[in-house]
Amino acid sequence: HTVQIDIYEDGDGSWLLGIIDEDDNSTVWEDPFDTEEDALEEALEALRDEGIETFVGPVEEEDET
């Protein structure tokens, strides 16, 4: 599996982070980061700690019933 790490400026001086898999499914962090480096560090840590499989495929919704 492969993923792409997207880090981009939000227009307010903060940075947004997303991880996109080979089928264009994405995982996006809700909270912005102070620096581009902080966002990259978070992405690499998440991939290392949770494994790439966590970020591949559609997000499974939890059943709230």
pLDDT tens digits, residue range 3-20? 999 999 999 999 999 999
Question: Residue 23: inside a domain, yes or no?
Answer: yes
User: Is 7 within a domain?
Assistant: yes
Domain that holds residue 34: 3-55
Q: Is residue 64 part of a domain?
A: no
pLDDT surpasses 90 at 57: no
Counting the structural domains of the chain, the total is: 1
pLDDT by residue (tens digit) across 24-54? 999 999 999 999 999 999 999 999 999 999 9
Whether residue 45 is contained in a domain is answered as yes
| Token pair belonging to 36 | 């581009």
CA dihedral sign of residues 12, 29, 27, 52? positive
Nearest to 59 by CA among 21, 17, 33: 21
In a domain, 60, yes or no: no
**Max CA distance (Å), the chain:** 40
- Pairwise CA distance, residues 40 & 4, whole Å: 11
CB of 52 within 8 A of CB of 25?
no
